[in-house]
Structure 1
């Protein structure tokens, strides 16, 4: 399949790039090797019109992802229509208007709710502006989205349940109903190539969702990897892990022969285990994964594990030693590395939830700390 963004190098702008879907879109673009897009911030949308028009000038494609889905009815309406109105006015102002605007709409558009009606009105504003300037509007209706780093009590019930469980609280279920869920990475893939059919949604009940996440959290609190039956389970677990990162103590048993500890207990997760040696001063990793679950356990020596959420500047450093083994799991969509900071050889055990496939490695180069 040809790359739908070929020929648009440097010509893609993203409105709402710092939001939940915007972050997932930019991470997927980075994983696919696309150039960094132009970023249109909230301040750009409400600032001088000529500045916003300048950011859109000559763009091959503009992604409009900004909006509001929670709040008072008037705030929800304004949170969707006002950004669209500013964007539409800027498109009309361009001497070389964007060739295409891709709008992240909702399947709820026009359903009579403040949110649905506001999404529909925003689409109409964009359509009129794009049509008047000779461009094309891709109006992409998206269902309920979930994924890593969703905002609790805002983006999705998945994010809310994940945050509650990570804080040691039971999920709060106010009535059961069926949901059609789409992972934000799949939504981003559809936005990147709207001509291709989207990935299928997963239909699940709210109660089932709470129970499933509860089982994941209960096992993970004891460092176990739960049974992950399919890709939906993996992504749901990764969404939970984005709210529950850190080191895990390992069950240990000592007797006269020495010590035994469990590096990774999996309840049906399968996967692959491998061991590496690393000489002092050397680093492994410097990449990120979209979905893969990976665990590091230092068996001998001293190491520093570095982690950085993709597109973020904050580097998390975790010192680990074979003298006191702990498991450190790599969050999905975080760049990570491990460096031997000791004086002797470093021996590390790695576990991944899937067998490495060189044709589909789910491994993308990314320096954790490019300034080092």
Structure 2
């Protein structure tokens, strides 16, 4: 099994990176930096690793804190790299496009790149400097450093944010960022993966998603940027807006209810029967949108966010139908808790590709 060593693995981008590496089965060793740094521990982590990825950084605080924090982290990692008996062949830096703008933060990132490039040269490793633009993605921290997270959080809560400084943003989804950092996507593809959008345009997109999703509709996912941004938005609606209530029409002939309305893009529907006591699922998706709808019988749908122990469960029934959409990077399953056979409909926004299934085994 391949093994990577990572700084900042518990932060926003680090969480996304660890989720992505689950798919490839790559082990991850954490490298604490800052006050928690210990040279022996850090050296052991980088020793023999196939790739070292430096994510940890300081982007909030006084100018002194930002400058000293970023440079200190890079110096600590550089020391560990030089101390390794079997140094890694590749060192990757999650840098920022701001490294060239002359700001305190930008200068600190630029100096950090120089420190890591020097250490990489000393140990004979390839140094890859990945200059990332504004990142967005599921479970970003609102009111911190990403306007997408702030807008998503406010719109999901039914509020109406205002735009004070309408400017262009270059946006990149966190899962695309980690593909660049891990080598799963070539660095040359950065230009095609990122998207330029105005702040007001970003807000309008999120508000459009919200208007549709409140009705249980799925917006168009033809554009992968829309898919990724919608997945980001709906991470702020869960679990408060689940399950999605479906209107059941019944008469002497039987009953009828709609399962889904999708406004564009590919899609695939499937159907299963499950005998009492049996559980299906126990997997997660990085990008795929998946909806479970119980047609007949009683079920418990359970979900757990990756790297968390808290499980969210819903009991659903075909008598009062409700749909549950699986948030990306949450393990999920469905269990028949009734006495009869369970009938369930499954819908995904893409057609299953056995070469790229985006269905990663993970027990709830």
> What is the TM-score of this pair, normalised by structure 2?
0.90
Question: SS of the residue aligned with 1:104?
Answer: strand
Alignment of 1:315-326 (within 5 A): 315-326=311-322
| 124-133 vs 323-332, which moves further | 124-133
Which residue of 294, 297, 309 maps to 1:301? Answer: 297
CA-to-aligned-CA distance 1:22-76 (integer Å, 9 cap, x gap): 1222222111232x11122357x63333332232233332110111223433333
Matches of 2:133 and 2:286 in 1, distance apart?
21
Against the structure 1 CA distance between its residues 195 and 355, is the aligned structure 2 distance closer, same or farther, given a 3 Å change threshold? closer
1:180 and 2:170 matched: yes
For residue 205 of structure 1, report the CA deviation from its aligned partner. Answer: 1.1
1:59 equivalent in structure 2: 49
Against the structure 1 CA distance between its residues 347 and 66, is the aligned structure 2 distance closer, same or farther, given a 3 Å change threshold? same
1:204 equivalent in structure 2: 197
Against the structure 1 CA distance between its residues 360 and 55, is the aligned structure 2 distance closer, same or farther, given a 3 Å change threshold? closer
Matches of 1:78 and 1:55 in 2, distance apart?
24
Extract unaligned runs of 5+ from structure 1. 1-8
Q: How many residues align?
A: 358
Extract unaligned runs of 5+ from structure 2. none
For residue 95 of structure 1, report the CA deviation from its aligned partner. Answer: 3.8
For residue 222 of structure 1, report the CA deviation from its aligned partner. Answer: 2.1
2:31 equivalent in structure 1: 40
CA-to-aligned-CA distance 1:244-303 (integer Å, 9 cap, x gap): 113112234456655543322223355222221111111211221221111111121111
Question: SS of the residue aligned with 2:100?
Answer: coil
Question: SS of the residue aligned with 1:197?
Answer: helix
Question: SS of the residue aligned with 2:52?
Answer: strand
Against the structure 1 CA distance between its residues 355 and 96, is the aligned structure 2 distance closer, same or farther, given a 3 Å change threshold? closer
For residue 236 of structure 1, report the CA deviation from its aligned partner. Answer: 0.6
| 263-272 vs 155-164, which moves further | 263-272
CA-to-aligned-CA distance 1:89-127 (integer Å, 9 cap, x gap): 222333443333211111111311122111111112222
1:4 equivalent in structure 2: none
Matches of 1:135 and 1:106 in 2, distance apart?
21
Matches of 2:344 and 2:314 in 1, distance apart?
15
Matches of 1:257 and 1:345 in 2, distance apart?
21
1:284 equivalent in structure 2: 280
Against the structure 1 CA distance between its residues 89 and 227, is the aligned structure 2 distance closer, same or farther, given a 3 Å change threshold? same
| 61-70 vs 348-357, which moves further | 348-357
Against the structure 1 CA distance between its residues 355 and 61, is the aligned structure 2 distance closer, same or farther, given a 3 Å change threshold? closer
Matches of 1:232 and 1:195 in 2, distance apart?
18
8 Å CA contact 1:187, 1:198 repeated in 2 = no
Question: SS of the residue aligned with 2:315?
Answer: strand
RMSD of aligned alpha carbons: 2.2
1:14 equivalent in structure 2: 6
> What is the TM-score of this pair, normalised by structure 1?
0.89
1:217 and 2:219 matched: no
Against the structure 1 CA distance between its residues 190 and 270, is the aligned structure 2 distance closer, same or farther, given a 3 Å change threshold? closer
| 71-80 vs 113-122, which moves further | 71-80
